[in-house]
């Protein structure tokens, strides 16, 4: 690298003007987050063409790069840090976690090993204990900090595969599936798409899963769950991604573990119900499971990306995810990479730790229950306006339908165009429906009412255009 670039970079680090520029841009972005169109306007999207250019031949200018990003990038973001994004279960971001993220960005820690970041190692252990406490999980449980539930589900099922094969005297890591004894996988037809993906990645094959029908709320039908045995992996769900429904853990978990089956619970956003006194009944029985996956970046409102795998059997998880190399020096302390598929990782545990430290148990209770209250309000006000609510609003999800599928689909498009709020669509019991996730601490009662008015206006637009004679 030429002295010229290095000198400029030392200057940038010393003078901090690049970071001041970033901070000013971030503040002006944040100050407008509540008013911005939730989905970018057409003009903002058109502005993205400013990024269409050839790879530069020579170094650029840091300030200009930031200015370009703020000028054309910021307007083209989805305003999910405002209060009216109800699309994916995205969650907002707690201010303290965002500030902590900035600090950790300057640390630039890599966290595979104690020796690469003693600080992250310590916070991983402390956060693990806090999570066990919060979710009432047994002391033997360990946590791995990954990018999201897609990854943590994969980890849970990999540990299950390891343990169940080991019982059959089969080392899956060395021998693979060829000639292997059969393991069974039992899951709900309403399992999340990332569960199917993990099953496929782990070589089980989705065709080999014993899929179980769900009831009208999206809960696995306990009466249809086949006889389980010690070779089975049973995948359950805390929080159906459409309806928010919770499987009946109290019935299924003890039944499964009595015969030695492994139970994994996908609780991406729903496991946090355990942190609310009034909602904890939804998660009754989860403590009997073997592994649990959930996100920080959804219900808890940490920044992206933050997922957690908790596993009751440390040995199974470590055997499934272990990597070796002459230069990889494990220590007596906690080495995070033993619990994750990744080796190099940012110190994402710090934001999770900060969120738990900031909110405490009562703050988590208020956050989680608050999302539920806003969801109930949303459902109640929509029903008053003649929309049909299709699910029991047990958590943060609301499923809504208009008079027929065509009207529902057109209404979704009109709501999205309004810029006032953003919701997506899904299929529910062979119907097209509007899917609402209330998942940000920012969302107020007024945001809900304003969004309900946007629903009503959108439906009115759709009806009006239907009444207009074809030209
Ligand atoms: C979001 C979600 C996932 C996937 O989680 P990511 O964090 O997006 O990888 C899995 N299961 C459920 C129920 C979810 O809501």
- For residue 228 the two structure tokens come to 């389980």
Among left, alpha and beta (phi > 0; psi -120 to 50; other), residue 294 is beta
DSSP 289: S
DSSP 238: B
Structural contact between residues 393 and 375, judged by C-beta atoms closer than 8 angstroms? yes
- Best of 197, 241, 371, 424 for a ligand 1 pocket test (most atoms within 8 Å of beta carbon): 241
Q: Please state, in angstroms and rounded to a whole number, the distance separating the CA atoms of residues 361 and 365.
A: 6
For residue 192, give the ligand 1 atom closest to its CA.
11
State the maximum Cα–Cα separation within the chain, in Å, rounded to a whole number.
Answer: 77
- Best of 268, 271, 272, 303 for a ligand 1 pocket test (most atoms within 8 Å of beta carbon): 268
Instruction: For residue range 452-466, list pLDDT tens digits in order.
Output: 999 999 999 999 998
Ligand 1 atom 5: residue of nearest CA: 149
Cα 37 to middle of ligand 1, angstroms? 26
For residue 437, count other CB atoms closer than 10 A to its CB. Answer: 26
Taking the CA atoms of residue 383, residue 388, residue 392 and residue 398 in that order, the dihedral angle to the nearest 10 degrees is: -80
Cα 149 to middle of ligand 1, angstroms? 5
Helices marked H in 299-388: 314-321, 349-384
Q: What's the full length of the chain, in residues?
A: 471
Instruction: For residue range 255-307, list pLDDT tens digits in order.
Output: 999 999 999 999 999 999 999 999 999 999 999 999 999 999 999 999 999 99
Q: Please state, in angstroms and rounded to a whole number, the distance separating the CA atoms of residues 363 and 347.
A: 24
Cα 318 to middle of ligand 1, angstroms? 23
Q: Where are the beta strands (DSSP E) in 260-300?
A: 262-266, 291-295
Q: Which residues contact 386 (CB under 8 A, 6 or more apart)?
A: none
Instruction: For residue range 164-202, list pLDDT tens digits in order.
Output: 999 999 999 999 999 999 999 999 999 999 999 999 999
Class of domain 360-467: alpha beta
Record the pTM.
0.96
For residue 297, give the ligand 1 atom closest to its CA.
7
Ligand 1 atom 2: residue of nearest CA: 268
- CATH number belonging to the domain at 100-356, selected among 3.40.50.800, 3.30.1300.10, 3.40.640.10, 3.30.450.20: 3.40.640.10
Cα 57 to middle of ligand 1, angstroms? 40
Mapped onto helix, strand or coil, the DSSP state of residue 221 is coil
Q: Please state, in angstroms and rounded to a whole number, the distance separating the CA atoms of residues 259 and 228.
A: 7
pLDDT of residue 34: 79
Instruction: For residue range 381-438, list pLDDT tens digits in order.
Output: 999 999 999 999 999 999 999 999 999 999 999 999 998 999 999 999 999 999 999 9
Q: If you average pLDDT over every residue of the chain, what do you get?
A: 95
Average pLDDT of the segment spanning 77-84? 88
For residue 151, give the ligand 1 atom closest to its CA.
9
Among left, alpha and beta (phi > 0; psi -120 to 50; other), residue 249 is alpha
Burial class (CB within 10 angstroms; exposed 0-12, middle 13-18, buried 19+) of 229: exposed
Ligand 1 atom 3: residue of nearest CA: 149
Residues whose beta carbon lies within 6 Å of some atom of ligand 1: 89, 148-150, 192, 194, 239, 241, 266, 268-269, 295, 307
Question: What value does the CA radius of gyration of the chain take, rounded to a whole number of Å?
Answer: 24
């Amino acid at each position: 690298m030429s002295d010229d670039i290095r000198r400029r970079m030392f200057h940038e680090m010393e003078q901090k003007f690049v970071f001041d520029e970033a901070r000013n841009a971030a503040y002006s972005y944040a100050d407008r987050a509540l008013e911005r169109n939730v989905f970018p306007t057409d003009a903002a999207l058109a502005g993205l063409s400013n990024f269409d250019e050839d790879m530069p031949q020579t170094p650029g200018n840091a300030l200009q790069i930031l200015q370009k990003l703020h000028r054309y990038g910021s307007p083209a973001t989805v305003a999910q840090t405002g209060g009216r994004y109800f699309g994916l279960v995205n969650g907002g971001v707690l201010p303290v976690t965002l500030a902590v993220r900035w600090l950790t960005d300057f640390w630039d820690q890599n966290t595979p090993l104690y020796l690469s970041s003693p600080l992250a190692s310590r916070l991983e252990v402390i956060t693990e204990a806090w999570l066990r406490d919060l979710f009432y999980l047994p002391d033997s449980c360990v946590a791995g900090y990954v990018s999201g539930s897609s990854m943590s589900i994969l980890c849970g099922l990999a540990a299950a595969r390891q343990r169940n094969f080991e019982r059959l005297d089969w080392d899956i890591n060395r021998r693979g599936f060829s000639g292997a004894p059969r393991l069974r996988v039992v899951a709900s037809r309403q399992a999340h798409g990332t569960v199917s993906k993990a099953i496929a990645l782990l070589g089980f094959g989705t065709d080999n899963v014993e899929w179980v029908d769900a009831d009208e709320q999206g809960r696995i039908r306990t009466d249809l769950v086949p006889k389980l045995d010690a070779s089975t992996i049973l995948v359950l769900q805390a929080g159906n991604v459409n309806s928010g429904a919770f499987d009946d853990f109290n019935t299924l978990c003890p039944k499964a573990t009595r015969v030695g089956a492994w139970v994994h619970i996908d609780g991406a956003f729903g496991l946090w119900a355990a942190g609310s006194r009034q909602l904890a009944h939804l998660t009754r029985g989860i403590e009997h499971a073997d592994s649990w996956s959930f996100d920080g970046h959804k219900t808890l409102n940490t920044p992206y990306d933050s997922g957690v795998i908790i596993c009751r059997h440390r040995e199974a998880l470590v055997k499934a995810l272990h990597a070796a190399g002459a230069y990889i020096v494990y220590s007596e302390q906690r080495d995070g990479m033993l619990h994750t598929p990744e080796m190099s990782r940012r110190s994402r545990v710090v934001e999770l730790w900060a969120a738990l430290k900031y909110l405490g148990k009562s703050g988590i209770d208020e956050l989680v229950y608050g999302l539920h209250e806003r969801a109930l309000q949303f459902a109640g006000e929509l029903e008053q306006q003649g929309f049909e609510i299709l699910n029991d609003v047990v958590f943060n999800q609301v499923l809504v339908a208009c008079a027929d599928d065509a009207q529902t689909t057109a209404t979704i498009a009109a709501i999205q165009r309004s810029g006032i709020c953003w919701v997506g669509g899904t299929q529910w019991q062979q119907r097209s429906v509007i899917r609402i996730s209330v998942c940000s601490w920012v969302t107020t009662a007024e945001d809900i009412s304003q969004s309900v008015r946007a629903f009503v206006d959108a439906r009115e637009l759709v009806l009006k255009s239907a009444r207009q004679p074809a030209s």
